A and B are shown apart, each in its own frame.
Chain A
C-alpha cells in the first residue's frame, strides 16, 4: 500500500546510515593540489577554493532573481528595478550575507578596471563595474523589548554595519509594529480607532481599545501582545512575524525591489520543519522564496519598478550550510554581534526544531539538505482564500470549520449536536443559552492556520498568558488594524482578492522556464540559422 512502516529490517532505505566524514582523500576536491581545510557534506576543500565556492553559490541563488524578469536572460547584465534592503539580525547568517553581498555587488571599482582593449573588464554592466541596485539599506529590528532581560544590541550592529561604506543603516524596534508614528512614516494612513482582540476566545472577537496615555505607548502595546500569547511556542513565532512585516514595510518605504535575508541551508531546514510543525504547510514554498505585494495604496508607497510594487524576498544563502557560514565568518574575521536566544527552550517548537536539526546536521550532514530539497518539490494545494491579515502570506479558506470538526472545543448551540445528543448533557433553558458569538466581529476568519494556531493553541500545562482576559483586549499590529478598518474587508474564504485595494492584487509566482518560453523571451535577439 502507500504507507511505509519505516522498519529498517523490512526496508533497506529506512536506516539513516552514517557515512564517512569525507569521501576520498584529504586533498581539496576542487584544485586537487592543496591539503583540505574544511569538509562540506563529505567533500574536502582547501581555504583558497572555499571562498570562490561560497561566492558562486551565493550568485547562483541570487542572480536569477535580480532582474525584473525572474530566471530570464541575463546576457545584458544584472540590473534590479528598485533598491535593495538587507535584513540583519546580528546572527551568523545575516552577518555573512552582508559581507558577501557587499563584496559581490557593492565593491565596484570607480573607475572600472580595464582590460587590454581599454574596455571595463567583464563589460560595463558587470557587478564589479556597476551597481546592480541603485541604493542599498541594511535594516536591523531590535527585539529586546519582547524578551525580558534581553540586551539592546542596536549600537553594536550599527558599528558592524559602519564598515560597509556604500550601505545605509536603518534601525527599527519591534514595538514599531504598534506605533502609529512609524506607520505614518512609511505611508500608512492613521486609523481613526484602535482595535483589539479577545485572545481568550477562539474566534478572537474584536473590540475598540480606549486610547489612554500610558497603555498607548508602543512598547506597552507590544508587551501586552506578547504576554497574552498562550504558549512558549507562540512568542518567538509572533516576534518573527512582526519582524518580517517590519522589514517588508521598510523595503516598501525605501523603494526596494528586493529584500535579502541571511537564511542558511541549516536555518532554512529549521524554519521549514518548524513551520510545518506549526501548521504552515500551505506556505512551505514561501519559506524558501516569496513575493509580497504591499496592501497600501499606490500613492502611499515608493515605486520599485515591479508591477503592484511587489517585493521579492530572496534567501541567497539557502544552499550554504551553517558550518560554511561559520568558516566564512572565521576566515574573514567578521564581527558577529549575536542574537538573543529565546529561553523558552524545551517548551517551544522553534528552539526544539533548531536543536533537532543542528544535531542531525552534525551526524547526518546530508539529511539537512534533503529536507530543503524535498520541500522545494512541494506546492500548495489549490484553494487559496486570500491573504492572512497578520502575516500577509497566502491563506486557505474554511479553516475554522475544519478545526471545529476535528477538534470539538465547545457546544455553542444546540444544533452542534447534530443527529445525536449525548444523554448526560443537560437540557438548556433557551432563556439562559449563551449568546451566539457569530454576530460579533472577529479576527479568526481573516487569519491563516498558523497565525490562528499561534494565537489560540494552548499547552497541556495551561496557558502562559499573564495578561489575557476578556475585558482587556489585546492590541493588534498597525497593518492589521489598518486593513480591518479599511473599506469592506472580506474574510479568507474566496478565490477573489480584497476589493478594498486601489488596484487589483496579483499574486506573483515564479516558475522554471522551459526551452520554448526562454526562446520566446529572447526571440528578438536571436539570429536566423
Chain B
C-alpha cells in the first residue's frame, strides 16, 4: 500500500529523512514513534506529499510520487490526514466541514453527503453538534470532527500526525477510542503518536525513529518487551517512567 525505498529528505543542511525503507501493507496499522525532531512527522507528511521527498522512491496506492504524471490531488483524495492542531475550517459548520470535499471533489449529491456526514458524526459521538462551529467545540470534539471529515472521502489510507498531542489529558481517551474503532475496520493506518498504550493495543507494528533513521521495526509486544536498539530502550524508559 505504501512503499518507501531509500527515501531521503533534507531541510537545507538538515538530513531529516535518511534512507527510509518501509513497507506498509493494506489493512495494517503502523505506529511511528520516536523523540521529537526524529523526523516522524516529516515521514508521515511525505506520504501525501505535504512534504516532497528529495531522493529515493515512494509508491502510495500504486502511484509513484516522484512521477510527474501522478495526479497528486487525486491521490490525496484517497488519503485522510488528521493533524495535531485539527485544522477544521473555522468559517464552516461541523456538517459543512465534513461535506465540503465530498460535494466539491467527489461530486456527491447534497442529500447523500449530508446523510453520510451524519452517519460519521454519530460514529464519533457528535451527531448533536452538526450545526456548531469549530470554535464552539472542545479540542477532543474538534479532533473527532476532523477524523469524520477525513473519513467522509472514504479514504484507503488514514494518516494521523500526533492526533492527541494538543489535547488536554481528559480528552485524549475519546479520540483514541475513535481511532481504535477505526483500526478495527481494516483501513490502512499510519499513526505518529506518543501514546504507547494505543501502540501496544492497536498497532500491528511499531517503527521507532531517531535522527531521520528508522532504527527499529517490530511487533508491539516485542518492541515494548525487548527493544533492540539502545536509543529505543532510552526512549521507552523516559516515556514510561518520566520521573526517573
The answer to whether A and B belong to the same complex is no
